[in-house]
A and B are shown apart, each in its own frame.
Chain A
């Protein structure tokens, strides 16, 4: 028995099972036990039991159901032992003992959805939501999350411990939000997914522009969410990320420098991903219930479908930005709209809009606003003014590849 238990093959089988099933099993255990930590203990105990029992008895036909019910029993055993020293646990043990353990496939899928909503619960700060989602939904280790977020493992670990304590204190129940609360709750989930994607797509500080892992994790959660909760904006967000991600390899040159969309080698774009993204945008738009993610995806689709930069349908882009300014008003959206106007109705029209925006003050410290202004001035041949704006942008930029890009532009002016 020991031979089989220690065999490489058996260990590998358990590893595969951990990757495939542990998130589903954990989600069901959280529902059944009503507590993250207890569920994790139960999960570890269930896999421990598999290591003991399966070499002797063989792998059960439904491994997932076996792990859930074994984990639940183990947790109850642990609680009963603890209740001997801590009488306050007795009612909990009794309540959990009575609860049934149904394993309908639908219910397990619902458990995964519950887990996503719980990890992104509004009682948690955004960074806690991100850490918890990456660990509990994606199954990343604390150390992997820390590396991806460029922070220390101890910081991430503490964030996760506190987040779970917060959920317990706030008595957050493990459920899928009702129709009435769905829009706001879904919004929080989508923000977390998009933040994770952007963390991977463009590090906010540091030397390396693209960190592959987090982007694909975000795509994975979004795909799962589209399956479990097919709302138009979920589809829109997935489309937006697919369309951005499709251009990933062309965004940087071999030295890690930034390449703007106009100069990108379009043959490097992932056409299958663009097709999927465009299809999903069309579907979301057709529902007439779309929002800001779908609109951004629609804009990305116009860019991605243009055979070259000059063939971009700028009229369509401006029209979409007009809708986006209403759906999600922000000075950054207005800045992007101004650049689209510059391409559609002339550089001077665009420049006037950028100047108005800068005069309003909100974007004064935003490096891309100055970089955008510099770009328009450069193309208008107003070199001295362009240089001034590039220099303002350089003072504000934090990311190394962007800094190098701006420096190159300044050099090209002379």
Chain B
């Protein structure tokens, strides 16, 4: 079964970090990342840019605009896909992610969701 993890963070707080603080953060992340990758259960792991565009339906011609529309505090900064036996197995792997083990003061947290077998209501 596949599970998606969205790693959230507070963009404003992250941007306020000094170069040195950020470098130190990355250094600590690397160790955690290595453990996460060592599980062999990662299908994909990536960081995302903060910028995004929104595309909304408007009859047959979608409207494209740049976000954010609403001032949200926490934004998705990272995405991983886990291959796991079940939800608890996925929780175990996701708990190795840096956003589950550090960064409380930067608003880090993880949303873990199973891929659906089919379209749902």
From B38, B39, B88, A142 is in contact (CB under 8 Å) with: B88
A residues within 8 A CB of B35? Answer: 78, 81-82
From A44, A82, A141, A161, B91 is in contact (CB under 8 Å) with: A161
B40 part of interface (Cβ distance < 8 Å): yes
Which residues 47-102 in B have Cβ within 8 Å of A in the complex? 85-89, 91-92
Chain B residues with a Cβ closer than 8 Å to the other chain, count: 17
CB distance from B99 to the nearest CB of A (A): 16
- Can you list 23 contacts pairing A with B, beta carbon distance less than 8 Å? A40-B89, A40-B92, A44-B92, A45-B38, A45-B39, A48-B39, A51-B40, A78-B35, A78-B38, A81-B31, A81-B34, A81-B35, A84-B31, A85-B28, A135-B88, A141-B85, A141-B87, A142-B89, A143-B114, A153-B114, A156-B87, A160-B88, A161-B88
CB distance from B36 to the nearest CB of A (A): 11
Q: Are A157 and B41 in contact (CB under 8 A)?
A: no
6 residue pairs, one from A and one from B, having the closest CB atoms: A141-B86, A142-B87, A142-B86, A157-B87, A48-B40, A142-B88
A residues within 8 A CB of B38? Answer: 45, 78
A residues within 8 A CB of B85? Answer: 44, 141
CB distance from A101 to the nearest CB of B (A): 22
Instruction: List residues of chain A with CB under 8 Å of any chain B CB.
Output: 37, 40-41, 44-45, 48, 51, 78, 81-82, 84-85, 135, 141-144, 153-154, 156-157, 160-161
B residues within 8 A CB of A51? Answer: 40
**CA A142 to CA B86, docked complex, whole Å:** 6
CB distance from B109 to the nearest CB of A (A): 15
Closest to A40 in B: B92
With contacts A135-B88, A141-B85, A161-B91 known, what are 6 further pairs, Cβ within 8 A? A40-B89, A44-B85, A44-B89, A82-B35, A85-B31, A157-B91
CB distance from B12 to the nearest CB of A (A): 28
Q: Are A157 and B39 in contact (CB under 8 A)?
A: no
B residues within 8 A CB of A157? Answer: 87-88, 91
A residues within 8 A CB of B41? Answer: 44, 48
CB distance from B116 to the nearest CB of A (A): 12
Closest to B86 in A: A141
B residues within 8 A CB of A37? Answer: 92
Q: Are B88 and A44 in contact (CB under 8 A)?
A: no
A residues within 8 A CB of B91? Answer: 157, 161
CB distance from A401 to the nearest CB of B (A): 27
**CA A44 to CA B35, docked complex, whole Å:** 13
CB distance from B79 to the nearest CB of A (A): 20
B residues within 8 A CB of A48? Answer: 39-41
